[in-house]
Amino acid sequence: MVGRRKRQEKFVESRPQESGLRRFIRVFIGRKIVLFGLIVLLMFILLAIFADIIAPYDPYEINLDESLVSPAGSHLLGTDINGRDILSRLIHAVRPTLQVGFATICFAITAGTILGLIAGYFGGWVHMVIMRIMDALMGFPMILLALVIAAVLGGGLNNVIIALSIAMIPGPARVMCAQTMSIKENDYVIAGRSLGFTNSRLMFSHIVPNAFPPMIILATMNIGMVILMEAGLSFLGIGIEAPKAAWGSMVSAGQNYLRTHPWMSLPPGLAIMLIVFSLNMVGDGLRDALDPRLRGTL
Amino acid sequence: MITYIIRRLIQAVFILLILTFVVYGVMRLVPGDPLLMYMDATDIEALSPEALEKARAELGLDKNLAHQYVIWLGDVFQGDWGKSFHYKTPVLELIGERFPITTHLAVVSFFFSTIIGITLGIIAAVRRGKWADTVATLMANTAITIPIFWLGLILILLFGLYFEILPTAGYTSPTEDFWLSTQKIIMPCICLMIGSLGANARLTRTSMLEVIRQDYIRTAWSKGLKERAIILKHALKNSLIPVVTVMGLQVRFIFGGAVLVERVFAIPGMGRLLVDAVIGKDFLVVQGCVLVIGIIVVMVNLLVDISYGWLDPRVRFE
């Protein structure tokens, strides 16, 4: 076992140098499951963009004559209590789901990066104040924090994004703070300071770029969790507002008809699982490709 | 060690102060008359303007936010957590009723997610690349992608409605009827623990794979020890360190999940109480729940940090 590992390492060393981008692509899509995740994710993105063309019916059109129709030829996944086509609502819910996921992660990572950067760079009481607040927010279930904030702000797509972003900030802030504290001890930062660079130049053009890979990994690893939380909020009725379609609220709407019409709750839940799974797999792939500690082993 | 614990306790108090102040501030951002958080709108309309002024002054609403927070805090320390305007009962009493229910669910879920998660992780690591590994890893990866409220519905559909072997809703105290209580919490607990179970399994597998490459494991093998002894005595303890680290996080997830699971299974626990209070803007109940959940998470994290010393004697408390 040990002997074989050694031989493998030698083989890696003797392999010709490959460019960063080529290695990235090779490692990223090297695992079949990651490639599968990527394809599924791309399909979801296409669904989000072309929802109006792909969806067979208007997702908001209420047709009480066709209430609770079972899955059949004209309505592939049946209809809900208001006679709205479930497949169309499923397709139209992809866009808000991805919007919430990506926007939340962007905001949370940006805010977390800035807070962590300031805390790590200046140290002292600034570090203490910022990081203690982050600790306090971390000491509480994220979904409950988002729940309280969303309830205060009053539902709706934008407010859900704000609520989830605030709940997500502590993680990135902690990682960024630790990164900054180790990077700022490097010679090139000290050299920059002795050359009289301003703090903001040192922070944003020297520290941030070097701390970026872990932040990207964190972002992709967390986006699935954000989508699960959004679905949870919508399930509780505090997320994306009706009549807009959201997977969480579709599951909730089907709960009352579970015995007689199980098709109402099943597809949205499967859709959530599929999208979270694909995002997690893409996140795993990105981590393998970007994590410097894995370089030379993959 | 003692000084470390004391310092951590002081830190914990600060964390709780910040947390409750943040939630206090956020809840007060609700547009509209803050009096609405203490009374029903219909009750307010019934009052004369003078009585309204008096009510405001009594509740301290004429003072600034920080001042009001300090008053609330003082009351809490004296055991007066305020009164819910929705239930018309003291907050402490409400929490006292609901808290044991959620704790029952949380403790059972936490116990099984730890045992099953770590076992799956060990099997996957020891049989790396074999079918057992594939199955365990696939299960773990699926477990962290399932929306737990949806899993709840699937379980109800399957075991409650189709096979009709488990009750689908409600809660019974184990002291009242242990067998019925256990039947009722099986499905909610599966939902609550599924995420932590997956996370524990993934983490144990990774960490175990790292540990079984170490020299002392090879030494143990060459001494002729049995596989069982090597894995369970030499490797497991060392590979548990990262797993214990995230246990504090698991408690957060379980209490967060309780909000969803209690809704699905119609369990009158803290999660339900909190959601109803948040939606109904029952301010003091929200504050009380936040404080209780905060205390639990902070305390569990403290226990986790202390247990490092037992798992890894190299850890020094400074």
Determine the pLDDT at residue A17: 65
Interval A219-248: pLDDT, tens: 888 899 999 999 999 998 887 777 788 898
pLDDT higher than 90, residue A276: yes
Interchain CB distance below 8 Å, B16 and A139 = yes
| Top-confidence range, A79-83, A128-132, A226-230, B290-294 | A226-230
B255 has a chain A CB within 8 A of its CB: yes
Interval A104-141: pLDDT, tens: 999 999 999 999 999 999 988 999 889 888 888 887 88
Q: Please tell me which residue of chain B has the smallest CA distance to A163.
A: B26
CA distance A98 to A51: 13
To the nearest 10°, report the CA torsion of B119, B120, B126, B129. 180
Do B20 and B290 contact (CB within 8 A), yes or no?
yes
| Top-confidence range, A51-60, B214-223, B277-286 | B214-223
Structural tokens at position A252: 């909730």
Q: Does residue A69 form part of some domain?
A: no
The C-alpha of B77 sits at a distance from chain A's nearest C-alpha, in angstroms, of 20
CA distance A39 to B79: 57
In chain A, how many domains are there?
1
Identify any residues that bridge with B90 across adjacent strands, giving them in sequence order. B83
Side-chain-side CA neighbours of A203 within 13 Å: the count stands at 15
Determine the pLDDT at residue A1: 41
* CATH number of A259's domain: 1.10.3720.10
Which of A172-186, A198-212, B50-64, B195-209 shows the lowest mean pLDDT across its residues? B50-64
By the 10 Å C-beta count (0-12 exposed, 13-18 middle, 19+ buried), B141 is classed as: middle
Q: Does residue A156 form part of some domain?
A: yes
By the 10 Å C-beta count (0-12 exposed, 13-18 middle, 19+ buried), A104 is classed as: buried
CA distance A141 to A137: 8
Determine the pLDDT at residue A2: 44
Share of chain B above pLDDT 90, in %: 18
Q: Does residue A155 form part of some domain?
A: yes
Q: Please tell me which residue of chain A has the smallest CA distance to B214.
A: A2
Interval B189-210: pLDDT, tens: 999 999 889 889 988 988 888 8
Interchain CB distance below 8 Å, A149 and B26 = yes
Phi/psi at B84 (5° precision) = -75, 130
Q: Does residue A265 form part of some domain?
A: yes
Interval A282-292: pLDDT, tens: 888 888 787 76
Q: Point out the residue among B30, B154, B256 whose CB comes nearest to the CB of A143.
A: B256
Q: What is the mean pLDDT of chain A?
A: 83
DSSP chain B: -HHHHHHHHHHHHHHHHHHHHHHHHHHHTSSS-GGGGTS-HHHHHHS-HHHHHHHHHHHTTTS-HHHHHHHHHHHHHTT---B-TTT-SBHHHHHHHHHHHHHHHHHHHHHHHHHHHHHHHHHHHHTTTSHHHHHHHHHHHHHTTS-HHHHHHHHIIIIIIIS--S--S----TTT-HHHHHHHHHHHHHHHHHHHHHHHHHHHHHHHHHHTTSHHHHHHHHTT--HHHIIIIIIHHHHTHHHHHHHHHHHHHHHHHHHHHHHHTT--SHHHHHHHHHHTT-HHHHHHHHHHHHHHHHHHHHHHHHHHHHH-TT----
DSSP A16-39: PP--HHHHHHHHHTTSHHHHHHHH
Q: What is the pTM of this model?
A: 0.85
Do B3 and B318 contact (CB within 8 A), yes or no?
no
Determine the pLDDT at residue A298: 54
Q: Does residue A177 form part of some domain?
A: yes
Q: Does residue A17 form part of some domain?
A: no
Q: How many interchain CB pairs under 8 A, A with B?
A: 130
Q: Which residue has the higher pLDDT, A175 or B60?
A: A175
Q: What is the mean pLDDT of chain B?
A: 84
Interval A149-168: pLDDT, tens: 888 887 788 889 999 999 99
Mean pLDDT confidence for B272-278:
89
Share of chain A above pLDDT 90, in %: 27
Q: Which residue from A87, A237, A79, A251 is spatially nearest to A151, judged by alpha carbons?
A: A237
Mean pLDDT confidence for A192-212:
87
Best residue in A33, A133, A144, A223 to probe B by mutation, most B CBs within 10 Å?
A: A144
Interchain CB distance below 8 Å, B26 and A132 = no
Q: Does residue A126 form part of some domain?
A: yes
Determine the pLDDT at residue A3: 46
Structural tokens at position A15: 């392999």
Interchain CB distance below 8 Å, B157 and A258 = yes
Q: Does residue A4 form part of some domain?
A: no
Range of the domain at A31: 22-55+77-294
Mean pLDDT confidence for B215-233:
86
Q: Which residue from B35, B32, B31, B37 is spatially nearest to B47, judged by alpha carbons?
A: B35
Share of chain B above pLDDT 70, in %: 91
